[in-house]
Structures are given as structure tokens and as C-alpha cells.
Structure 1
Amino acid sequence: MVVTPSDALIDVPPRIVVRGAAPGAEVLVRSRTLRNGVVWSSQASFIADAQGEVDLAVTAPAAQLAGNSYQVVSATGLLWSQQPEQAGQREQFHRDVQQPLETQLHAVSQGHAAQATLTQRLCAEGVTRTEIRERGLVGTLFMPAGPGPHPAIMILNGSGGGINEPRAALYASRGYAAFALGYFKAPGLSPYISNTPLEYFRDGLDWLRARVQPPGDFVALSGQSRGGELVLLLAATFPERVSAVLAYVPSALVHSGQNAADPAVGREGPTWLLQGKPLPHQWQGNRHASWKPFDDGPAPHRHELAMLTALRDADAVARARIPVERIAAPVLLLSASDDGSWPSSRYCEMVSTALHRHPYPVEWHDYQQAGHSILFPAVPTTQTSYAHPVSGRVSTGGGMPAANALADAHSWREAQAFLQRAVAAQLDRKVSP
């Protein structure tokens, strides 16, 4: 068994080839990865070609053989199809993101065996990690190797809260000064999203710019889910501070606290404050909004169904709409057609329509049959139903594992290309007379 490369960043797809089998023989390949203390595993059976080889990049698992974890041609199929051997576990990375993931690969055919190890990293050599606890900010700064200066990006999590170190580490490995900023459910912060001041993020942008002094003053925003809503809102509220926006499965509207709300405030209470005042949100004064389709709907529960009821009130939608036309930067929108958390495809259509005359590039990728969790390549995509980290309510993010894997890989490539173009364009503007 040959794995090429055998040790690389997680976004580099490995080529896995088994050689030396009898032509036409069945070859069973298994994977086993320890992820944050929990074993995840998968398997697939293939038929060796006339040369006695199986190349996972060009060969699908044999449909006539049982027990396959995935069914399509995919170089990373054994990774994204993994299931945790301990039910209910969803953590895909070690708590220490500088610790690589080690996957043991084992092939068996007609009594003969081969094995190999695949090492996947979030942190390239020389990337540094610094915990930030200053000016009231709680986050982690990852800096690329080399003196810089480096373009900067601030990364915001969704309604699960916490600090998104994995994405920041990978961005730093690709040349960006990446600041993963926590805003709730992080050390010293509220355990809930309710009543979060937007000025906190303004201060985070200012701190990042002053700390890393990026070329061309370039500071981008990336956020997923509620973080996707948030980055659009921040770019519309503080347009002079934002150089590019990457909105993963975002909302076009300001939402209430929902599943991440403080129970004392309630899930229909406000999320964001500006100058100490709550921003109008989708549920506020809404004549049609109802939690019933989510709360009482069939399992796995789809939060999206409740969001659709709220969209029926055009006046409430208009009051809660994020004024994205105020954004003074390029925008990348990433949505999923089977999003079980909220209708991100419809939301992105609303944003795209509002930006139809935007003076900056606007890109939108809508991933068919994919769900709410769009991350980056070669991570497990099987755990679509889960208990919410704050409310504990069980629901599904939607999507099929293979479609989720394609969305992960394609979105990461597009995000890198989008940022490269945005950085180049801002540098051109800065040097133009």
C-alpha cells in the first residue's frame, strides 16, 4: 500500500494505491483514526484491476460487495465516510490542533495484508499559536511561518460557540494571519449568544489590524451558520473595516437567539446589540413564525422548517433584513440545498439579489444535496444529526455524506481562490494613483 503524500496538510488529497493483489481479486481496505480520544473507522471493498492494483482515486468500491462505508469514486472516501466507534461523538480534531491526525490504513486480499499510515496536519511547519486575552477579546491567533506581513482573516464560529481553531490553523498554514475570535461559550465569556454587542467584533477587527499590520490593510471575515449571518452583518455595519466576506451557510436576516439563547432571555429574544440596543430580528413581531414544525416535526428534527414559517411574514423579513448593500468588499456565499438548520440556499439567493449591482465581486456556490456543515476537505461528513451544544435539542443539519464531502472540498478551493483575488485587488487599489 502506497500513500502519496503520506504526510501533508489536511487539504492535500492523498492518493492511496494498493499493489500486488491477484487480478480480479477482492481487496478490503480499512481506515482507523483517533480523533480527540475517539476512534473513527471505515472500510470499502474493491476489485483489483488487470495489473493487480486498486487506486482509490479512480476506483469505486465494488457495489456487489457488502459493508462498504461509501459507494462513489473518491480519493478521500475512507476519510469522509468514517463513523465514530463511540456513538454521539462529533469532534473531528484533537483539542490541540497542532497535533496531527494519524490514520492507519490496512488492506487485505486472499490472505495477504499491507498497511500504511496517513498523517494529516492543520498546522504547517512554523505556524505559531498564541492565545489572546486582551482588550476584552477572547481568541487564538495563528501566524504563518516567515516574517510577513501577511493578509489577515478573522474567523467566527456559529451557534455552538467556542473558538474555531481548526479553520484558523489551516488558514495560517496557507499564508494568512488568522484570528479565531470567540464571542460566547469560550473562557470568560457568556455561555449564551443572547445580547452580544457588535462593538466587540469591531474591536476584534481593530486589534487584528494593529497587531499584524497586514499588507494593503487587508482584513477578511469568515463565519459559518450564525457566524455567517454575523460576518454579513458586521461588514454591513462596519464596512470600512472589512476587506472581504466569506459567509458559510449564512442567513440574510438577523435572527433571534434560537438554540443558543440564554434561557432567561428565550429563543425569541435578541441576539445582537448595537450601541446597547437590540437589533430587530426575524422572530420579532412575526405574524406567522412558529417553532411547532421543528419541535413537533418528525425525527430527525429540522430547524429549517421553523425558519420557513417566519419567512412568510414579508414585513418582519423586511425589518430583519441585513443591509448587505452597505458592504464595501467582495462577498463569497456558500449554501446547501438540503440545509436542515435553516434555508441557507434561499438566504443566499436573497443576499445575491440584493447585491446584484454590487461594485465588488459576488460569488455564490449552492451545493446540491449537501447540508449545513460545510468545512474543508477530508473530514468525516457522516454525523449529520446531533444534540445542539447549547440547547441540547436534537436535530439534523441535513445532507448526504458524499454530497457533504464534495461541498467541503470544492468550497475550500473556492475560498482560497476568492481570497487570493481579493488580496490582489486590494493591493492594486492601494498602489493605484
Structure 2
Amino acid sequence: MKIIIDKPISMCDEKIQVSFEGLPQSSIITVTAESSDYYCINAPMATGIGTIWHSKGCYKSSACGTLNLTKDASFGGSYTGTHGMGLFYRMEPKKSKEEKLATNLSAIGVQKSYHIKLSVFFEDEKLEEITIERKFQADNITHQDINQENLVARFFKDAKKRNQPAIIVLSGSDGRIEKAQNIAQLFASHGYASLAVCYFGLVGTAECLSQIPLEIIEKAIAFLKQQQEVNAQKIAVYGRSKGGELALLAGSEFPELSCVIANTPSSFIMEGLTAKNRNSKTSSWTYKKHDFPYIPFKIWDFIPFVLKKNFFNQQDLASPFSKIIHRKHAAKARIKIENIQGRILFLSSEQDEVWPSTLFCTQALTHLKKNNFLYPYRHKNYLHSGHLLTIAYQPIPRYTSQNWGKQLKDSIASWEETILFLKQWAN
């Protein structure tokens, strides 16, 4: 038999076609996908490379002995229904390898690609297997580590090109470099010089998510302006989750940022967190050693969340956040998004389980309209996804909902919207 892959080597945000010929006719066929070198941007931080990721689908071959994952439905296994990338999106940790997080940038590797072995079974017999490669970064991309005062970062670029638009990339409340660099690698592969920035958690940065100096972004802008590969007039910032909050704040403070992309952000500055995830009684962010006004957390606000999580296994942080933004502190803690000197893309999720990103984004739009904002802006709200709207086709093991197909479509659409928005800005 034969396994046919249209792109045996592909970027990890690309769709691929998988089909099979020479199978037993009109028979039950099992196809498995397995990877032992995959780093998942949507997995917990401690889930390291070396974790076994696995999925399987059960299909019926045609009377001619063929099977096409894009056209033929899976009736069992890791997913049901028809989607050519379902086998990849529904991969889950089979055997988790937890790693102690590195504290130095130099100890964190750069993974350029990962491999997935596809195996085909009829009954208990393996008929064939093939290994494909999925890339985080194109072959022409190089990287450079930056370890300066107020800037711990990794710079991804095509060194042969000049005058490229540039993007500062910020991860969520992990604050670290690992997930940010995956996004930066892909942005660089799409033609943007990309700087993945750590804002806490590594040597040279804050210990926890509290009183993070906005000078980090100021230093990142200054660094990019000095690079011959970068067009100094075209610098964007992309942040997801807590990084989206930071991206909006940075855009409101630094006019050099002519494009801001906020993925499931807060449009308010929240209280910081200690290393033990307790409220710090300080702002998340500072500038020139002064705290930005913030919305404080109160323990009783989160008691319903704890009860739901412990007794009903429900993850719902959005509800308490929806309440605390109406307190007297909220007006001062609102990020002055109308001060941004460039275009803005808001991405939110209706089913956001971490905080009400849809509410945050719609409130931000109200202020933009009220202030007759001069630059293009767009809000894309996705109805079926949770908080993790990230790179297309990447598994999200947190979500086990039967709506996986709709979640996958939202993930693809949000990533495509991000790439399109950047192209429009760059041109």
C-alpha cells in the first residue's frame, strides 16, 4: 500500500493533504499519529519536548481500497467527523515528560521543526508508516539571543533581507520565551523580523508577574530600530492573553508601535501576582518606577471559581473578571487604547474561560469610536473557542469538547486573520 502526503515537509501552520492507496477494500482502517519531539504552545509549561503526543482515527476504506482524510470521516478514536487536519489537531499527550523550567535564556533551545509518524493498521497488522516534518521556522530564518539590561529576548530574522517590518512578540501569563518564540519563528517565516520577548521568569527579568517595567518594550523598540534588517517605521507588537494586555498598554505609551495585535487580551490593567500566584498588591506594570493604576483582586471574587473547579471540574475565571471591572478602580485602570498611533486587531473568544476577552474588546471598541480613532481597527470574535486562540492546527489538550471541529475552524480563522492584518499593515 502507499501513503500519499502532498507536503511531507511543511510549515506547522499549513494544511496538508493525506491519503492512502492499496488498502484492503471496504474495510475498517486505523490511522495513528505520534510525535516524540513536539513542543505544544497550548500545553502546560512543564510539558517538555520528549512527551509522546498521540492520536488515532478509525475509517472505512472505499471499494477501491482508498482513503482520503480530507474527504472521509473518522467514526472513532481521537475524533469523529470529517476534517483533513483532525488527526493532527486532536493529538494529546500519551506519556507526559515534565521538565524543570530553565532559568537562563541560553539553556532554552530553539526547536526549528518536529516530526509526526503516521501509521496505518488493518486489524492488528501495521500496513505502512511514514514520518512527516512540520516546521516552526523556514530554512532561511536565523536567530540571535539578546541579553541586555531590561531586554531578554530572541531575535528571528532573514539575515539576507533588509528593511523588513518587525514584530515584538509577547506570550501570556507564563511571561517566558518558549511560547513567544514559537509565534515569532512563524512570523519570521512569513516575512517579519520578529523579537520574542521574555517579560518575567528568566535571569535578567522579574521573578513574577508583578511590577514589570514597560521599559522592556521601550528597549525592544530601540533594539529593533538599530537592526539593518528592520524598517524602523514599521514596528508592531503582538501579545496573547496577559501579553495582549501588555501589547495594548505598550501601544498606548509608545507611538513607534504602528500596529497592535491583541489576542484574547484584557483592556484593563490588573493587579500583579506573586511567584505563588497570590495577589501582589501592586500593579502588573510600571513605567519609570511608577505603578500603573490597576484593578485589585479580592479573594471573595474568586470563591465561585474555586468551587466550580474543585466540585464540578469547571474552569471559569471569566465570571469574576466580568464583575470586578465595574468597580470604582476600573476607570483609572482602563488602558487608554485611543492613544495608540496605529492600526489595532482585537481577537476574542465568546467561550473564554480565563477572562471575558469579548467584553474587554467590545468595551475597547466603544472608546475608540467615542474618541473618533483615526487608524484602522478590527475586532474578530470567535464563538466556539476558549482562551487559547493561537497558531492554526496546534492541539489544545485543555479542550475536550465535542465542538472540536468548530474550535479548530476558529483557531485557523484567527491565525489567518492575524497574518492578513499584518500584510495589510506592512503594505
Q: TM-score, normalising length from structure 2?
A: 0.87
Contact 2:153/2:196, CA 8 A, preserved across alignment:
yes
Please state how far the C-alpha of 1:232 moved relative to its aligned partner. 0.6
Q: In terms of mean alpha carbon deviation, does 138-147 or 45-54 score higher?
A: 45-54
The equivalent of 1:342 in structure 2 is: 355
The equivalent of 2:320 in structure 1 is: 306
Provide the C-alpha distance between the structure 1 equivalents of 2:336 and 2:402, rounded to a whole number of angstroms.
Answer: 29
Q: 2:173 aligns with which of 133, 154, 159?
A: 159
Please state how far the C-alpha of 1:378 moved relative to its aligned partner. 2.2
Change (3 A) 1:336 1:90: farther
The equivalent of 1:188 in structure 2 is: 204
Q: 1:295 aligns with which of 279, 291, 306?
A: 306
Alignment of 1:3-402 (within 5 A): 3-34=5-36, 35=38, 36-62=49-75, 66=76, 68-87=77-96, 96-109=109-122, 111=125, 113-144=127-158, 146-163=160-177, 164-212=180-228, 214-215=230-231, 217-238=233-254, 240-257=255-272, 260-262=273-275, 266-283=279-296, 290-298=301-309, 299-313=313-327, 315-356=328-369, 357-384=372-399, 401-402=404-405
Change (3 A) 1:267 1:290: farther
Please state how far the C-alpha of 1:175 moved relative to its aligned partner. 1.0
Letter in structure 2 aligned against 1:215: N
Provide the C-alpha distance between the structure 2 equivalents of 1:352 and 1:88, rounded to a whole number of angstroms.
Answer: 43
More strand by share: 2
Contact 2:50/2:97, CA 8 A, preserved across alignment:
no
Q: TM-score, normalising length from structure 1?
A: 0.86
- Percent identity reads 24
Unpaired stretches in structure 2, ≥5 consecutive residues: 39-48, 101-106
The equivalent of 1:428 in structure 2 is: none
Change (3 A) 1:90 1:331: farther
The equivalent of 1:389 in structure 2 is: none
Provide the C-alpha distance between the structure 1 equivalents of 2:152 and 2:395, rounded to a whole number of angstroms.
Answer: 28
Letter in structure 2 aligned against 1:218: K
How many residue pairs end up in the alignment?
Answer: 400
Q: In terms of mean alpha carbon deviation, does 291-300 or 1-10 score higher?
A: 291-300
Provide the C-alpha distance between the structure 2 equivalents of 1:182 and 1:341, rounded to a whole number of angstroms.
Answer: 21
Contact 1:144/1:174, CA 8 A, preserved across alignment:
no
Change (3 A) 1:383 1:107: same
2:426 is equivalent to residue 412 of structure 1: no
Letter in structure 1 aligned against 2:55: S
C-alpha RMSD of matched pairs (Å): 2.5
